[in-house]
Structures are given as C-alpha cells and as structure tokens.
Amino acid sequence: MDKLIITCAISGAEVMKEHNPYVPYTIEEMVREATLAYQAGASIIHLHARYDDGTPTQDKDRYEAIIKAIRQACPDVIIQPSTGGAVGMSKEERMQVTELPLEMATLDCGTLNFGGDEIFVNTENDIKYFARVMHEKNIYPELECFEKGHIDMVLRLHKKGFIHAPLHFSFVLGVNGGMTGEPRDFHFLRESIPSDATYSVAGIGRFEFPLAKLSIQNGGHVRVGLEDNIYIDKGVLAQGNKALVEKVVELARQENRSIATPNEARKILRMETFNDENTL
C-alpha cells in the first residue's frame, strides 16, 4: 500500500470563527494553521483565501500573498488552492486564482444542493472550462466529487479528452445535499473509479474520522481540516487543524500505514511533470 497522503483543508469558505476560533482569516493565521498541520503530517494544504474580516475571496493577489507566506514557512508542502471558492461566486471569480503559477488546484465535478437555499453550481460546460484552463496552465486537478454522478461526469469527460490523466479523485461526503458518508457510500465510490486512479476522502462533520479510517484501511488517502469538521470529538471543538491531522496520524499508526512527505505525495499522485515551473 502507498504511504498515506494527508491533505489539510485549513480554512474553507463557509466556516467562521464563530464556529471555531481557530479558523484562519489573516495571512499570519493561515501560515500558523498551515505550518502546524504540515509539521503534524499534512503534505497538501487545501486553501481558501479570506480577507482579514473572514470574507472569502478568490482574489489572486490575496492568494499570492498567502501562498508565498506559507511557502516560506513550509518550502516543500503542496499547496492546493480552491477553484470552488464560496457558494454563489461566478466561475470567472472562482478562476482568478489560476492566473497564479500553481502546482495543484481543485476541480469541482458537478452541481449539488449545499444546505438551506444554497446551490453549488458546476455545469458540464463549467467543468470543461475549468479543466481546459487548468490543463493549459499545467495545474494538477484534484477532482472533487460530492456524489456518484460526479464520478460519472469525470469518466465521461476523461473519455472525451476534456479531463486528462492522472486521475486523482477527492470524495467529499456528508455535505447537506450531496452523498452521505456511510461505509457503503465509500465502497461504492471507490469501486466506481479506474483501478489506476488515486483517491482521497473528505468526510464532512461526523463522517470525518470514520471515513478517514476506512480510507486508510483500503489504500486511499485522507483529507481533514476545519473546512470539513470543527470537532475533535463529539461536541468538543478541535484546537486547530493540527489536532485533526494528529488524529489521522494516530489512526494511520494503528493501521501500520506510514505518512507520505510532500515529495512522496508528488510521486504517488504522479505529479512530477506538474511541479517544475508551477510554484510561487
């Protein structure tokens, strides 16, 4: 089994300090959360930029400042900005970040309800557009799938030449409007992707750690972080992203799975051709 790649989704676009005071807004807070997560074992930092008051933004200058500051503290970490942004942003707004020289970014692979009246819109043409821009700019796409139909979309667009290998999926399970994160959901998705594809699992809320354990046991990779879950235990707030990463490292230790460094993660994900020019 490959070593375990831990992604930490440190900030998100919807979770606020009112939910957990460790959610980072300022550049200094972003660096603190990223560095502690990296030191704990995360090799990929999934990043949503915020302004100092917590407002989510896809502004490329803000991303650039955050990425440069994180890179200074953690020189080899893989930084994966979001092209999903926050619900309601236009695709042009979301794509601004890809004007930067990026090694990796998310590519959201379908539309879904996102709680209450919110809809996270990713039409087929949007996905083709995001995939084309990222391919032209040599940005490695992490294929975010919130339900099985999104995997089918990836496989169809891959066959038609819009999405290119290597295929690395992220199953984001437990969004209020997407697929839940029960073991049968995990197995269904895992069995739905090509055998040479890689995958990571992000369980939302209470699904975070049970899914992390299943993925560790089955050879998948894991995403945790305050974007997905603010609790370390039922009703107990996590004291930052570090605590969530540490809990996954302990689960991996129990399952005899060692943790990948960023460079090992690059090899496992077949990213070698993506990382030469694309780092700030």
Residues forming contacts to ligand KMH in the complex (CB under 6 A) are 13-14, 82-84, 86-87, 106, 108, 114, 120, 144
Helix (H, G, I), strand (E, B) or coil at 136: helix
Number of H helices, E strands in the chain: 9, 14
Judged by beta carbon distances under 5 to 8 A according to partner kind, the member of Zn ion, ligand KMH, none in contact with residue 57 is none
In the chain, what are the helix, strand and coil shares in percent, each to the nearest 5? 40, 20, 40
The whole-angstrom separation of Cα 171 and Cα 222 is: 10
Which one, 43 or 82, has the nearer CB to Zn ion? 82
The whole-angstrom separation of Cα 46 and Cα 55 is: 17
Which one, 229 or 257, has the nearer CB to ligand KMH? 229
Contact call for residues 246 and 7 (beta carbons, < 8 A): no
Q: If binding is defined by CB under 5 A, does position 82 make contact with Zn ion?
A: yes
Residue with the CB atom nearest Zn ion in the bound state: 82
Residue with the CB atom nearest ligand KMH in the bound state: 84
The whole-angstrom separation of Cα 232 and Cα 252 is: 16
Judged by beta carbon distances under 5 to 8 A according to partner kind, the member of Zn ion, ligand KMH, none in contact with residue 278 is none
DSSP 8-57: EE-S-SS--TTT-TT---SHHHHHHHHHHHHHHT-SEEEE-EE-TTS-EE
Judged by beta carbon distances under 5 to 8 A according to partner kind, the member of ligand KMH, Zn ion, none in contact with residue 97 is none
Judged by beta carbon distances under 5 to 8 A according to partner kind, the member of ligand KMH, Zn ion, none in contact with residue 69 is none
CB of 82 to ligand KMH, least distance (A): 3
The whole-angstrom separation of Cα 200 and Cα 220 is: 6
CB of 280 to ligand KMH, least distance (A): 19
251: closest CA among 225, 221, 206, 226? 221
Q: If binding is defined by CB under 5 A, does position 241 make contact with Zn ion?
A: no
Binding region for Zn ion (CB under 5 A) out of 74-82, 109-117, 193-201, 203-211: 74-82
CB of 195 to Zn ion, least distance (A): 27
Q: If binding is defined by CB under 5 A, does position 122 make contact with Zn ion?
A: no
The whole-angstrom separation of Cα 175 and Cα 65 is: 30
Which one, 82 or 229, has the nearer CB to Zn ion? 82
Which one, 173 or 257, has the nearer CB to Zn ion? 173
Which one, 201 or 257, has the nearer CB to Zn ion? 201
Q: Which residues bind Zn ion (CB under 5 A)?
A: 82
